[in-house]
Structure 1
Amino acid sequence: EAPQQRIAALPMLDADEHQATIDDWNQTVADYPVEHCLHQRIAQRARASATAVAVTCGAQQLTYAQLNGRANALAHTLIARGVGPDVLVGLAVERSLEMVIGLLAILKAGGAYVPLDPAYPRERLAYMIEDSGIALLLTQPALHGQLPVPADLPVLLLEEGAQTLREDDPQTTVTPDNLAYVIYTSGSTGKPKGTLLPHRNVLRLFAATDRWFNFGPQDVWSLFHSYGFDFSVWEIFGALLYGGRLLVVPHEISRSPREFYQLLCAEGVTVLNQTPSAFKALMHVACSGPGKQALRQVIFGGEALDVKSLRPWFERFGDRAPQLVNMYGITETTVHVTYRPLSMADLEREASSPIGEPIADLSWYLLDGDLNPVPKGCVGELYVGRAGLARGYLKRGELTATRFVPDP
């Protein structure tokens, strides 16, 4: 995003220094072609691993074949209701298997999901429904009467929409450049803004980070975060694109560090994604109580990380199994921008929140108020470019123009 205020005057770089600075910051630039959409990749998984468990929630579970079939059935109904490429569909569903089915069905119909977490305040939900201009609301009977639904907004109850007998993959004209979702920012710097993200952005994110993580069918991911928070995009599709298992964490358990730790131990979770503040409470439980965890990756995002706060974890579990990773990013850059594995040696370094290196298909620059690179060791604003950028903000052309600026 553009600087909120001008940075004090800095020494000017000559032409050679200018180019050297840019080159030094962007040594790993690569491209990752995307040929399919998210739902098409998941359908491929369903054909290859039909009986593998895709999603669990409490005592319930769905195999990949069951998830794909139920999402297809709902998708056919959505198509009949006018959903197609770049059509926005609101999704207001409790954390459940049905939440994953509904989300996937919207994509299969060619549409883009707008997450409307029923746990959000009523005023926020009303604003998001009105501002997004969703063409249809997909929800559950128990929630329908509680939501601030305008009288003229079409509503489809998920259970009714899934009653069709058709479970074949719908054929649509959607492409990787069509929207997959519109997630609203927190609103901490003004009114929440709907951010437009296409399929391509998410798929290239996983392709570009695969060399670091080697995710696969053996992994169990926890869906800990609200599906209205963009960290959930990484959790949901990280599991399903690789043939892993997605563990949907009930809302009440996500609020209890002790119960959540017991759950991730019992379910053998291998990939855990956490904001630093949530992990701090979980770490206290893990370091002081029983329970054998199977984690191989703990990935931080969403907030600045105080590495020194991780000392109890490193002293209890070491710094290799699991590997702790700090990833900086924002909704507008498709979840993540950088990668930085952490170790005990970081406890002695001055940098409080090291963010590491950029994902290979992104460019990044540290610039002054006039968009000139700042000399090494000087303070500037971080600008991110290339493959991960959102399409912009929904219905906010002027704001999009000020935040998504041409690369000089």
Structure 2
Amino acid sequence: MVSRSLQEHFAGQVDRTPDAVAVSADGVVLTYRQLDRLANRLAHRLLGLGAGAERPVAVLMDRSPDVVVAVLAVLKAGAAYLPLHHSYPVERKQWILEHAGDPILLTDRALRAQGLPRAGRVVVVDEDDRSALPESDPKVAGHPEDVAYVMYTSGTTGEPKGVSIPHRAVLGLAADTRWETGWHDRLLLVAPHAFGVSTYELWVPLLRGGTIVLAPPGDLDIATLRRLITDRAITGLHLTAGLFRLVASEAPECFAGVREVLTGGDVIAPNAVRRVLETCPGTVVRAMYGATELSTFAVSWPMRTLADVEAGVPVGEPLDGLRAYVLDDRLEPVADGAAGELYLAGSRLGRGYHGRPDLTADRFVADPFAGDGGRMYRTGDLVRYTADGVLDFVGRAGDLVKIRGFRVELGEIETVVSKFAGLAHVAVVAREDEPGETKLAAYVVPAAGGTVDVPALRAHAAELLPDYMVPAFVVLDTLPLTPNGKLDRKALPVPETAVAGDYRAPGTDRQRVLCGLFEEVLGAARVGLDDSFFDLDGQSMLAMQLISRIQAELGAELTIGDLFNAPTVAALDDLLPSGGDA
């Protein structure tokens, strides 16, 4: 790819395949020509509002074809898109907008009705009348070093940090030779657009003449995912390691027609890979490792047979345009087979952190090996090279963890929790009490003579943190310490899923089945009719598993939305058709 910018390369693709399907969703099909014209009109509108180079435009929308139109329009206006997830607490969204300079905000009707953060100017994309604006390409000049998007991720200071990714990095991702198989021509867009994987889901198909197949808005259940993959003839997709493990356990057969499934964002369970390869022998499972600080993926490893997983799942080998170094704390290469910190270098790296030169200097350091004056990114992950020259994951360095595919800095959670009144000490850790299942736990000690209102503390955290960063809370009299005065992590107790409120026992066979499924999925000792799934630390991944188990046990057709509306056993029992006793 020799294009200088994403919009330039897309324009060339429109010229080559104007009538090919670019975007497909339930009830909506857009060809490359139609997508181009819609994006051109919105781009002219944005230019009229002052959008331009080095100026972020925020995109706060649910999954729909309009998201693709909006992102493309921002780039055609010469600006950078700044994705916001609709589930972020309003305080977090407001902080990001203010930090980005109060940019134009693109949104949709549904999210506007729920309330928006303050922004410099709000444009409702699916209501905005652009019929009087030209369909022609505004032809705003682009440059490879222009910022294509700014994506905010967790930060150690208690505040998010925005990573600026230039056009050259995204073009490099789309040009990678691993996509030349054609297996990613019908690609399922399932990730939130505020998650780094969306870069792959958007630009690999759009810049190669493929089709983006959009999952419906909102949280997905396994039945919907199975239907989409099968009915829409998906050839390639990415699922986070946790979601991949869940689908491999509940419905591995749905991958039968998929040529390649990418998975990563956390440690990949070998048993999940084996189950998929056994059930779908024609499907390749590819492990992916990446970071928000570059254009999504950096290292990968394909697994085609059970023999490929015999020794576990490695991290793999660098993608095109990237170099991987395994270094000690003096930035010297470690001996073969020894563990060291992974550094990444090459043309796919981001510029750094938006408006934070101090953080940029800490993580993006001079590359002493290439001799071209470039930089390398310090990942914070510990790896080693195997005897075959393949990178293998060892562990995390410092307080960096991955939760449900999202990178999380434990320091940010500790800062937020510590702001709750009446706490003397706070320690947030990532626990893996079950293999492949990382969960956050916050251990809190009340101030002298005080107590901790755990529901109020949980509500405080939920107001300031995304749901995947809200930990389970454990109240202790004191934090256990090692002889040298450091936190003794091994002595911290396993968080228990405590049932809140009075216990009301199930009275029918179906209620007993539902209570049993709640207990099984949540790991709770006892769940009554009035205990809320979400009050018992149930999150979206567990919700998908619960819905799948209910469908299997009771034959009931439920969605994640049903569980949000009826989160207790009693409410779900009322929601199910009468006469459906287990």
Q: Calculate the TM-score normalised by the size of structure 1.
A: 0.85
SS at match of 1:337: strand
1:282 corresponds to which letter in structure 2?
Answer: V
**Displacement after TM superposition at 1:173 (Å):** 2.5
| Per-residue deviation, residues 226-271 of structure 1 (Å, max 9, x unmatched) | 000010000111111111110111234x520121111110000001
Structure-2 separation of matches of 1:329 and 1:144:
33
Q: Calculate the TM-score normalised by the size of structure 2.
A: 0.60
Structure-1 separation of matches of 2:227 and 2:156:
33
**Displacement after TM superposition at 1:380 (Å):** 0.8
Which of 302, 323, 326 is the equivalent residue of 1:341?
302
Q: Is 1:391 paired with 2:340?
A: no
Q: Within 5 Å, which residues of 2 pair with 1:176-215?
A: 176-187=144-155, 190-207=158-175, 209-210=176-177, 212-214=178-180
Partner of 2:313: 353
Asked if structure 2 preserves the Cα contact closer than 8 Å seen for 1:329 and 1:335, the reply is yes
Structure-1 separation of matches of 2:173 and 2:301:
16
Partner of 2:193: 227
1:179 corresponds to which letter in structure 2?
Answer: V
Q: What RMSD, in angstroms, separates the aligned Cα atoms of the two structures?
A: 2.0
The 1:221–1:380 alpha-carbon spacing in structure 2 relative to 1, beyond 3 Å, is same
Structure-1 separation of matches of 2:59 and 2:129:
13
1:299 corresponds to which letter in structure 2?
Answer: L
**Displacement after TM superposition at 1:162 (Å):** 3.0
Structure-2 separation of matches of 1:188 and 1:57:
38
The 1:42–1:242 alpha-carbon spacing in structure 2 relative to 1, beyond 3 Å, is same
SS at match of 1:294: coil
Q: Is 1:92 paired with 2:60?
A: yes
Structure-1 separation of matches of 2:129 and 2:293:
32
Which of 254, 257, 269 is the equivalent residue of 2:222?
257
| Per-residue deviation, residues 325-374 of structure 1 (Å, max 9, x unmatched) | 1121101121111121113113321xx43011112321221111111111
**Displacement after TM superposition at 1:187 (Å):** 4.4
Q: Is 1:315 paired with 2:278?
A: yes
Q: Within 5 Å, which residues of 2 pair with 1:8-407?
A: 34-150=2-118, 153-158=120-125, 159-160=127-128, 162-187=130-155, 190-207=158-175, 209-210=176-177, 212-214=178-180, 216=182, 219-252=185-218, 254-287=219-252, 293-318=256-281, 321-342=282-303, 343-349=305-311, 352-407=312-367
1:214 corresponds to which letter in structure 2?
Answer: E
| Stretch deviating more after TM superposition (128-137 or 382-391) | 128-137
2:73 corresponds to which letter in structure 1?
Answer: A
Structure-1 separation of matches of 2:108 and 2:221:
26
The 1:61–1:257 alpha-carbon spacing in structure 2 relative to 1, beyond 3 Å, is same
2:302 corresponds to which letter in structure 1?
Answer: P
Partner of 2:552: none
SS at match of 2:360: helix
The 1:188–1:227 alpha-carbon spacing in structure 2 relative to 1, beyond 3 Å, is farther
Structure-1 separation of matches of 2:183 and 2:230:
18
Structure-2 separation of matches of 1:86 and 1:163:
28
Structure-1 separation of matches of 2:129 and 2:32:
20
More strand by share: 2
**Displacement after TM superposition at 1:71 (Å):** 0.3
Structure-1 separation of matches of 2:98 and 2:18:
39
The 1:309–1:157 alpha-carbon spacing in structure 2 relative to 1, beyond 3 Å, is closer
Partner of 1:7: none
SS at match of 1:333: coil
Structure-2 separation of matches of 1:329 and 1:42:
24
**Displacement after TM superposition at 1:157 (Å):** 2.3
Structure-1 separation of matches of 2:306 and 2:274:
8
Asked if structure 2 preserves the Cα contact closer than 8 Å seen for 1:84 and 1:174, the reply is no
Partner of 1:13: none
Partner of 1:18: none
SS at match of 1:251: coil
Structure-2 separation of matches of 1:305 and 1:169:
43
Structure showing greater radius of gyration is 2
Runs of 4+ in 1 over 4 A off after TM superposition: 187-190, 215-218
Give the total of aligned pairs: 366
User: Percent sequence identity over matched residues?
Assistant: 36
Partner of 2:508: none
2:261 corresponds to which letter in structure 1?
Answer: V
Structure-2 separation of matches of 1:273 and 1:242:
17
Structure-1 separation of matches of 2:128 and 2:217:
25
The 1:298–1:313 alpha-carbon spacing in structure 2 relative to 1, beyond 3 Å, is same
Structure-2 separation of matches of 1:251 and 1:120:
16
Greater length-normalized contact order (CA 8 Å, ≥ 6 residues apart): 1
